[in-house]
Amino acid sequence: MVLAFDLTPVIVLLPVLSFVIALFAGDYLPWGGAEVGIAATTGALGLSLWVALTLAIGSGPYHQTVYTWASGLDAVNLTFGVLIDPLSSMMLIIVSLVALLIHIFSLGYMNDEGEDGIPRYYAGLGLFSASMLGFVVADNLLMAFMFFELVGLCSYLLIGFWFRESGPSSAAKKAFLVTRFGDYFFLLGVVAVFATFGTAMFVGESSFPALAEAAINTDQVAVNTFGFSPQSWFTILGLLVLGGVIGKSAQFPLHTWLPDAMEGPTPVSALIHAATMVAAGVYLVARMYGFYAISPDALAIIAFVGGFTALFAASMGVVKREIKQVLAYSTISQYGYMMLGLGGGGYVAATFHLMTHAFFKALLFLGAGSVIIAMHHTEDMWEMGGLKRKLPVTYYTFLAGSLALSGIIPFAGFWSKDEVLFEALLHGLDGNTILLAAYAMGLLAVFLTGFYTFRMVFLTFHGKPRTDAARSPHTIRWNMKLPLVVLGILAATVGLLNMTPVAELTGLQIEFIHQWLKHGFAGLTTEHYEVLLHDYAGYGVAELHLSPLLPGAVSLGLALSGALAARHLYSVPEPVEHTAKLGRAKTVLYNNYYQDEYQVWLATGLTRSVSRISNKFDQGIIDGLVNAISSVSLFIGSRMRRIQTGAVNDYAVLLTLGLTALLLAVGLVGGWFV
């Protein structure tokens, strides 16, 4: 069974192979490279399931260095390695399954629509999938950073797939630049981790999380904290890495790129939002959770940013007109919940929500893509209506995803999101006011999520058709229906893997995700994280015994209230835009709190002014000083050059005069003439 672990690199290499074939031979293939992409992701999924099965039967986790990039650099080795534990194996299945379904869906969305550049599209999907799979199995922070950047590059290429149009190309550049801003901090964090610990390994007794823990407990561990206390310095390191996480996972204030990324093909949006780029940031925090667990300040910031982002993004989703825009803001909000869970001590809850969200958000985006194709590429929900009878498969699967997103029992999102909120509340009641504030924001976002989600459902599928396109929608083929059905089943059932409220009520052992994540390397298990959270962050110190039933009921009530409010306002034959009653508040929300304008001002008003001053200082003072020294040297040299005549008589005279002057100088100094 060890063979499964040995073949782990093949999981990454198969999509790389599909990328190469599609890029160079796609024009000669019947489906433009889709067939090799489907084959590669199918193989990756099969191997991922084999790896998970090997772990499940008790073979234990796996860690192996695959390639040594550089060694002997002051005892620092730069390597590429594979790390397989319950967390990474779960993500391998999620990424490969979603990538496979998106490849199949693309046959209807891209191929059947006769889009240009199909080989380039499938090549991008292959490289995108490989990049995320490589990121998932990375055993050190530097390797993770490199695949992190490759994920960003792929997103740039795929968001800007229709590069001849101004919208997609602009959105691609925006996504690239905004996420790069966060990645600068990530890179500083990687360098600082190496400078501090001499290693960036995630696992082992000499890993940087283990060394950090030991450095706090004893002074015998030799780490360089650059004059800071170990606790303070490790918090700084964690926050530097968090900069990259906030960028990739579209958390406030680096969230502005994600709504614009909807300019890309809808299957790309599904891949970005569900299983690759945006998921990468949350996965990274979960991967190095042992390091964050020893820093209560970092945890508090993660939780607060997550709770605020969940509410902040949800408030904008209630006024959007385009179906993909609503889903984009829901993604920002849901990843806010995951960050809230990680910061609130809910490691299992956050990773569980990462899994459930991957399935129901992929479903919703692919469902939106089905609607867009049926509507002849119209995205405005106010031009839809009455599609329930025309697109029954799309409707019922989309409804399953909407129920999961809203957090309505028994669909997936209810179990995972409510567990996130419960963990934040439980640890907030220990006396952590920041966690309580984050919990309150997350709870309020539940109502807004239910509202904007079912506003989207009712405007799109219910009522009377409001345009000719809605009256005569385009037919949807099997290659688009099949992924919807698979994801619809998962959205309805995958939450049953971890039914914490039911387990509390019945005493049954049905918290399978909890049990799954208990195993792994020492230092990378939930039990170890719980100890760290208790000892360093104070989570669970009060030993409160709070049942999840009442908090779960409150959350469910808010979700249902939001859905019922949307039904009352928009489930009518001819709906009207009730959000117009918000007045200027709607304008603010629709324009995203003017965050784009604010960032443009920072770039053009502040940053450009500072750069101009710096440029003047550089050219006037620095360059001026250098040029002045050069000019003096050139002047002296030009004058000295005149004495180089080439005549021996002139040189003899100069030699005599020089010797005479030297003797006179020595005589004066030595007192010869006194």
Residue type at 504? E
pLDDT tens, position by position, 319-344: 999 999 999 999 999 999 999 999 99
Within the chain, how many helices (H) and strands (E) appear?
A: 31, 2
Average pLDDT, the chain: 90
Q: In the chain, what percentage of residues exceed pLDDT 90?
A: 64
User: What number is the average pLDDT over the span 587-605?
Assistant: 81
Written as one string, the DSSP assignment of 336-366 is HHHHHHHHTT-HHHHHHHHHHHHHHHHHHHH
- Are 513 and 498 a contacting pair, CB within 8 Å? yes
Q: Which candidate, 139, 392, 369, 143, places its Cα nearest to that of 274?
A: 369
pLDDT of 541 strictly over 60: yes
d(C-alpha 523, C-alpha 526), whole Å: 9
pLDDT of 630 strictly over 70: yes
- Are 333 and 252 a contacting pair, CB within 8 Å? no
d(C-alpha 42, C-alpha 597), whole Å: 44
pLDDT band of residue 111 (cuts 50, 70, 90) is confident
Least confident segment among 200-209, 422-431, 616-625: 616-625
Tell me the two tokens of residue 428: 């907030």
User: What number is the average pLDDT over the span 293-314?
Assistant: 95
pLDDT tens, position by position, 199-230: 999 998 889 999 999 998 886 677 888 889 99
pLDDT of 611 strictly over 70: yes
To the nearest 10 degrees (0 to 180), the angle between helices 323-343 and 347-374 is 180
pLDDT tens, position by position, 70-83: 776 666 778 889 99
Q: From residue 672, how far is each of 233, 532, 666 by CA, in Å?
A: 68, 84, 8
pLDDT of 511 strictly over 90: no
Residue type at 63? H
pLDDT tens, position by position, 434-459: 999 999 999 999 999 999 999 999 99
pLDDT of 255 strictly over 70: yes
d(C-alpha 368, C-alpha 105), whole Å: 12
pLDDT band of residue 304 (cuts 50, 70, 90) is very high
pLDDT of 580 strictly over 70: yes
Tokens 């979700």, residue located: 559
Q: What pLDDT sits at residue 118?
A: 94
Q: What pLDDT sits at residue 532?
A: 93
Q: In the chain, what percentage of residues exceed pLDDT 70?
A: 97
d(C-alpha 609, C-alpha 565), whole Å: 48
User: What number is the average pLDDT over the span 230-243?
Assistant: 94
- Which residues, listed in sequence order, are joined to residue 511 by a DSSP beta bridge? 498
Residue 224 has φ and ψ, to the nearest 5°, of -95, 110
- Are 325 and 352 a contacting pair, CB within 8 Å? no
Written as one string, the DSSP assignment of 532-582 is HIIIII-TTTT-----SHHHHHHHHHHHHHHHHHHHHHHSSSS---GGGGG
pLDDT band of residue 381 (cuts 50, 70, 90) is very high
Torsion of CA 618, 620, 622, 624, to 10 degrees: 150
d(C-alpha 155, C-alpha 147), whole Å: 12
> Nearest 5 degrees, angle CA 167-CA 171-CA 175?
175
d(C-alpha 357, C-alpha 628), whole Å: 63
DSSP reduced 3-state for 646: coil
Q: What pLDDT sits at residue 671?
A: 67
Q: What pLDDT sits at residue 459?
A: 95
Q: Residue 635, exposed/middle/buried by CB under 10 A (0-12, 13-18, 19+)? A: exposed
pLDDT band of residue 619 (cuts 50, 70, 90) is confident
Q: Which candidate, 247, 264, 255, 258, places its Cα nearest to that of 167?
A: 264
Provide the CA 560 distance to its chain's centre, in angstroms: 29
Q: Residue 525, exposed/middle/buried by CB under 10 A (0-12, 13-18, 19+)? A: buried
